[in-house]
Amino acid sequence: MNHDAYDDNYIRSILNGVKSIAMVGASPVNVRPSYFAFKYLAQRGYDMIPVNPGHVGKSLLGKPFVASLSDIGHPVDMIDIFRNSSHIMPVVDEALTLSPPPKVIWMQLGARDDAAAEKAEAAGLKVVMNRCPKIEYGRLSSEISWMGVNSRTLSSKRAPIPTQGMRLSLNRMSVGGGATTASDRAAKNKSEPT
């Protein structure tokens, strides 16, 4: 597997195939990147589990923190590692002791451990490194394009505004929805003759 460039279908198959995600290094502090990613993925219908021994006894968006992967107590589809590269191998080692093991090991932006990836892949797991599932989900579902970020897709058709219960291109339902009244007004004004 070339971990320097991932095919969109590989990422899409992971995001469509997993239901539960254990986020190692999740934080209840609402200005931390892990908080934003956790909340975003939970709003897209994933069963999120926060893993951080420093926050046991607290909860994140109603989900209680667990100290380790083995404390979860039920199978998990994906492990999202929000730790720096030096902490990845121990997380992968623990993930491989789970029964059944997860389907995917995902390492967040800036996190990469080729030896840990090779070990996970040898055990039959899919691996993604140095990517954020929140960003990849937004990019592949076209949510990023309506937020004004370059999706690398050219189209003259305006993307639909996500609404409550709308089926997104990643076969998940939108929970949050969104309003873009300013852009709707701008588009209307632009189409009116001057």
Q: What is the pLDDT of residue 51?
A: 98
Report long-range pairs for 142-145 (Cβ below 8 Å, ≥24 apart).
142/168, 142/169, 143/168
Q: What is the pLDDT of residue 183?
A: 46
Nearest CA to 103 among 122, 87, 79?
79
The structural architecture, per CATH, of the domain 8-136 is 3-Layer(aba) Sandwich (3.40)
Q: Where in the chain is the domain with CATH 3.40.50.720?
A: 8-136
- Write the pLDDT tens digit of every residue in 106-152: 999 999 999 999 999 999 999 999 999 999 998 888 776 554 455 45
- Write the pLDDT tens digit of every residue in 15-73: 999 999 999 999 999 999 999 999 999 999 999 999 999 999 999 999 999 999 999 99
CA distance 180 to 116: 43
Nearest CA to 12 among 137, 131, 120, 117?
137
